[in-house]
Structure 1
Amino acid sequence: GIDLARREMAKQQQAVVVEGYTDVMACHLAGVTTAVATCGTAFGSDHVKMLRRILMDDDTKHAEVVFTFDGDAAGRKAALKAFSEDQKFVASTFVAIESHGLDPCDLRLKHGDGAVKDLISAKIPLFEFVIKSTIADFDLDTAEGRVAAMRAAAPILAGIKDTALRPEYIRMVAGWLGMDDATIRNEMNSAGKKAAPQQTRAQSTASSQAANVEREALKCVLQTPHLVGTWFDSLEESVFTVPAATVVYAACVQAGNPLEFDSAQAWIAKVLEQAVDDETRSHIRAMAVEPLPNDEPDARYVQAVLARILEMDAGRRVAEIKAALNRAEDGTDDVDQARLLNELLSLESYRRDMRNFAVGDS
């Protein structure tokens, strides 16, 4: 089909790459006159050279190459192959995927010329397709799944040679996974260097802040049980991200309601009884004697600390819901999207209330 398409390719600055002759003919009959076939062979460097000559691919042009692949594992493998060649293009590269696995020929026979044109019009960037199809293998509703997806996407991000484009995809992946840019960038750099992951300064600062707030909250719970009030009931295990804080909180829950104890000493003794091991007891003892900022903190300070930790937890949950909405495609169930949006609005309001209480605006 190269002879049929050469003039239109140069004129429209577009090449649509399909697999076989029947697909080429179907595209041309449907009005997609820039279609060419790889003749059953995998797209490779020879195809790149030919298309670059025809499209006169350079920095002054805005040509595009659209690959058509099946939406299955074989199609993804083909896209990954094209991805490795894509770096040789200045032209923008895209992928057009038929969701039911139909090739252009079968698509035209079943749904007509318009369906073929719509297929090409609905193209998405090649990088986006490769990354999205990679992370789709993981359960993104769990922390473990999101971390695994990040690690799978990192080598792909590292393989993007365009230094101006790479940060954009880092931001996109961060949005899809509900993580911050620094975390994605750190993992990408590690994948690119094939070295052990190293925390960025931003990550370290965020982790240190969470650890400090969680420790301060538990110090308040242990040392001033009479000031905690009903705020203790608002806490739950997900609020704590540091392992030491998580086990201490679990011991507090097992000990019962702190307001029912006559003194802090009696409360701490009961919490120590519920500790699962000596290491946990060591953490409890340390938090029980470590000084609070004020010698005799009042209820306002204690409850502000607990409000702060609840605000941070709400922020993490907001990020997870936003990531789920970012991943949602047009075909996502409207009821499910509405549920997520309502949950997001509720959490945003709750986070705002906790922040205002923590800083003394309520």
Structure 2
Amino acid sequence: MAGRILKDDVESLRRQADIVAVAGDYTTLKRAGSRYKGLCPFHTEKTPSFTVAPDGNFYHCFGCDASGDIYDFLMRIEGLEFPEAVEALARRSGFTLRYEELSARDRQAIGQRSRLVEVTAAALEFFRTTLFSAEGEVARSYLKERGFGRDDARRFDVGYAPNQWEALAQSLTRSGLPAEDLIATGLVVRTERGGLRDRFRGRLIFPVHDPGGDVIGFGGRILPGLDYGDFDPPKYLNSPETPLYKKTRVLYGVPQARAEIVRAEEVLICEGYTDVMALHQAGFANAVATCGTAVGLEHLRMVSRYAQRVVLAFDGDQAGVKAAERAWEAARELAGDGGGADLDLRVLVLPDGRDPADLVREVGADGMRAAVADATPVVPFVVRHRLADADLTTEAGRTAALREALEIVGREPDLDLRREWARTEVAARVGVAYEFVVRSAARLGVELDAHEGVAPVGPRPGGGGGAVGGVAALDRARVRREREALRTALQAPQWLPDEWFELVEDDFTHPVARQVFATLQAAGGAGVELTAVLEAAPDDALRGRIRELALEEEPVPLDAEVAAWRIRSLLADRLQAEERALKQRLQTLHHGRDREELVAVLAQLRELEQRRRSLTAVGE
């Protein structure tokens, strides 16, 4: 990096880049007219309210009010500073940035993420090159034994870390990368004597990418047959937490799997890197993996933007059961976090000692496909394992088991599913009548029957609400018309009637509408590019409102007649107010003393009424 990015390049990249492609890495977007819509990547929701405009490269969420241009999106979604967002976009767009010359201290302060990504990219190239060198024969042999060829390795950017303590550190520092940046990525540690030592040694290397494709961390597996000396390394080693890498927020294989996840409307989550590779090889390209941690809220939040059906491929032992329960807790938290969509969470129970890679090789693609299709919903999965450990031979044991099973079933939000599982998983397995289960559930506050149990807590349908009609309703109608007029000016200025040019700021009653109109006029009036309007806005809050108006869908088909009615109705309101003022003035005039003024006011009044009627007659 040579210094501050040239402003011309920032603007050129902003215009040339594709926000649909960038945002599409984080949520599924579908065309809606000239826009694209999807579930918001910044909050959980059931109905898509996130809208992207390719003509202008900006976005707005009508659910959480997140708004901005393509740089704002990257800054918000990845936690980047502005220079880092520009550089990240340039990398993925193949755009060559130019920089102003700055001092060494200034260069050090700019774009930490970009510097660290430069290090991880260089490390990846080192590992990949080493894999296909003579030194990497041991790693290639292991891959071959596992059934992976050169194409599989290249698809996932697999590499090899030499069985040496300083190979990577020496290579990267010789290329000019600062030692402190190597340390910050977790690839290198500083020894007690002040030297550098590689974190990964003698390992098959799996790079972890963010959704945008940047390498943010690595996982490494030791190789059989290598001599590690007196050192007894752990089988797997992952990057530590760094400014780039947060293991609770990343999944291995997302860039490779995203398109198939969207197509299949399903994601398969494993616990191993080679499991993902084997599943992709067998045709299950919707597989991803956690990176040494349990499936949590942020993992599910990420995949929920692409698909609602989530299948966990976990071991059938106690650890696998606990992992599934933790994932279920995270799914329920996600569903309650801002009204997020309920995931269809299921568990593919693996035979003892088998991982997904073993299973797909044993049963083949068709067998694996059937196993995934038959994956157990998470609630019955948890109930079965709890009951398997219960004592059902005694009355006390059955009572305790029934109570625990109903507590689990009661967490299922879908009442129909709750009843089904109470019948098939609880009553049948505990060995009691369903009617007894329903009565027991009622005593515990778990609703099963329409006439039993406790009603869900929350607002009543149709309850609450403020006053309707009267002045408040008229005010709301007026504000709605002002919004419609401004939306027309931003989205379809070609249909504005001549009366638009008669409007002034005082014709808008809502303070935000007044600000938007004033900003539009300051930018040059209706018809100028949206970027010019946004630049004229005094603050981010108003820019967000302008983007919202520019992206808001029209409730009715918009044409010249509809556009004209919107504008003319606002002008007619002004004329009507002027009429009222003249009529009040008439009441103060004397027909004898003020005859001349009286005649003039009456003439003005007739003229205003005629003009107003001609305006409001349009569209009647």
RCO higher in 1 or 2 (8 Å CA, sep ≥ 6)?
1
- TM-score tier by shorter-chain length is 0.3 to 0.5
TM-score for the superposition, normalised by structure 2: 0.28
The structure whose residues are more often helix, as a share, is 1
Answer with 1 or 2: which has the greater Rg: 2
The structure whose residues are more often strand, as a share, is 2
